Amino acid sequence: MSGLIKWDEIERQICIEKDLSVLKTYHAALGSKEFRKQIDGSIKAINKCEKYKIKIEIAFGEHYKKLKSEHIDHYNCPSTNLTTSKQQAQEEIGKSRETINKYARMASVEKTDEFLEEYEAKCNDRGVEMSSAGFLKFAREKQHEDLPKVELPEGKYNVIYADPPWPVGSIVMDKWESPINEKYPTMTIDEIRNLPINDLSAENCSLFLWTTHTYLPDALQLIKEWGFKYHCVITWNKHSGWTQFGFHKMTEFLIYAYKGKMNIDQYGKAIPTLIDENKTHHSKKPDSIRDLIKSKTPEGRIELFARDKYEGWEAWGNQL
Ligand SMILES: C[S@@+](CC[C@H](N)C(=O)[O-])C[C@H]1O[C@@H](n2cnc3c(N)ncnc32)[C@H](O)[C@@H]1O
């Protein structure tokens, strides 16, 4: 029965015509129980409907991205223009802000067609229904699979600067429209605990460890377990932050701890414990902090979970 549905016409609408009102009609129909009753009801047929529904959602995401790019000056006036393009998309597509964010994330998947076919085959094999959330999870896992497995170096370091992938829940990450490749793989607290920080540290070693409000207690505990002595915290006021309710968490923390003798240059300009710098990209920390550490510490420095290489630093991470 699913042969009666004009898949070619739907495909043509998605790829060529891109008429929003037609796509909206198909989208509603493909998801409706009545429409699905018309097909043979097998998991394969239902998944075919869902696959095309997902394709349409990706087209909606692309439409929103196009609207957003048309606001060429939005970097100068972020809130006004971003809100405008999102509101416009909300109105045109008839969905909530969160749903438009989800469509934008879906449209950020790089190998959409390839991943969608694979996801469909996997769901059919397992006899489970496809969904847009399932597709996003599948695509994210596929992208993570492409990341290299990296071995930690064996040396001893005087300075360790680390920004671990704390297990920030998808409840936080999935609220945003940010591209899915920004969603790096996270580690459990135990995996972070098992990092051989002790093996990497010289007799006298400074440890700078990034953490968030949520993981501050864990970070303090880990420092102790790794054999370091807590000294102080540098607070980064990033001027933005997501919160579900209550406190607006627009700060992150860089804990300073040391082992042996403190090897920080304590003369000259004082080291600030407050850094006031706007957030740039997702999870990117201000480069000025790395420079500050470099100016106050001896050579033999390593950055863990680094994304770029910097002079005076060894770098380790799976996105380098
Ligand atoms: C919080 S981000 C680091 C951001 C970085 N400090 C910056 O300013 O751009 C954490 C990084 O850890 C990486 N990562 C996650 N799991 C990893 C693993 N098992 N081995 C190495 N790197 C990993 C992620 O891919 C991500 O690049």
Provide CATH code, domain 157-316: 3.40.50.150
Q: Where in the chain is the domain with CATH 3.40.50.150?
A: 157-316
Eight-state DSSP code of residue 14:
I
Q: Which of 130, 128, 152, 127 is nearest to 139 (CA)?
A: 130
260 lines ligand 1 (CB under 6 A): no
Residue 101 sits at φ, ψ, to 5 deg, of -60, -45
Q: Where are the alpha helices (DSSP H) in the chain?
A: 7-12, 20-31, 33-38, 43-70, 78-93, 97-107, 112-126, 132-145, 170-173, 189-193, 197-200, 216-225, 287-296
Residue 72 CB partners (closer than 8 Å, separation 6+): none
Q: Identify the band that residue 187 occupies on the pLDDT scale cut at 50, 70 and 90.
A: very high
Cβ-contact 105, 61 below 8 angstroms: yes
Q: CA-to-CA distance for 300 and 293, rounded, in angstroms?
A: 12
pLDDT at 171: 43
pLDDT grade for 127, boundaries at 50, 70 and 90: very high
Q: Which atom of ligand 1 is nearest to the CA of 165?
A: 10
pLDDT of 51 strictly over 90: yes
CA distances 180 to 62, 92, 97, 110, 316, Å, are: 14, 24, 17, 9, 22
Residue 59 phi, psi (nearest 5): -65, -40
Lowest-confidence pick of 75-79, 223-227, 241-245: 75-79
Task: For a ligand 1 pocket test, name from 173, 187, 305 the mutation site with the most ligand atoms within 8 angstroms of its C-beta.
Answer: 305
Higher pLDDT, 32 or 236: 236
Q: Does the pLDDT value for residue 296 go beyond 70?
A: yes
Tally the residues of the chain: 320
**What is the mean pLDDT of the segment spanning 137-162?**
92
Cα 223 from Cα 227, distance rounded (Å) = 6
Mark 171-184 as b/e (b = at least 16 C-beta within 10 Å). eebbebbbebbebb
Over 90: is that where the pLDDT of 27 sits? Answer: yes
Which amino acid, 273? Answer: T
Q: In the prediction, which pLDDT does 74 show? A: 47
d(Cα 218, Cα 226) in Å, to the nearest integer?
12
- Residue 191 token pair: 């995996």
Q: For a pocket test of ligand 1, which of 160, 303, 307 has the largest count of ligand atoms closer than 8 A to its C-beta?
A: 307
Assign 69 a pLDDT band (cuts: 50, 70, 90): confident
Per-residue CA distances from 269 to 91, 292, 313 (Å)? 54, 10, 22
d(CA 86, CA 99): 11
Whether the predicted pLDDT of 219 surpasses 90: yes
CB contact at 8 A, 218 and 319: no
Q: Is the CB of 233 under 6 A from ligand 1?
A: no
The whole-number average pLDDT for the span 218-238 is 97
The pTM of this model reads 0.79
Computed over every residue of the chain, the mean pLDDT equals 89
Average pLDDT on 30-53 reads 86
Q: What is the pLDDT, as a whole number, of residue 34?
A: 79
Cα(45)–Cα(3) distance, rounded to whole angstroms? 9
pLDDT (0 to 100) of residue 81: 52
pLDDT at 79 over 70: no
- Is the confidence at residue 170, as pLDDT, over 90? no
* CA-166 nearest atom, ligand 1: 1
Residue 184 CB less than 6 A away from ligand 1: yes
- Predicted local distance difference test score (pLDDT) of residue 4: 64
Q: What's the pLDDT score for residue 247? A: 83
Q: What pLDDT does residue 35 have?
A: 78
pLDDT at 175: 61
**Amino acid making up residue 254:** L
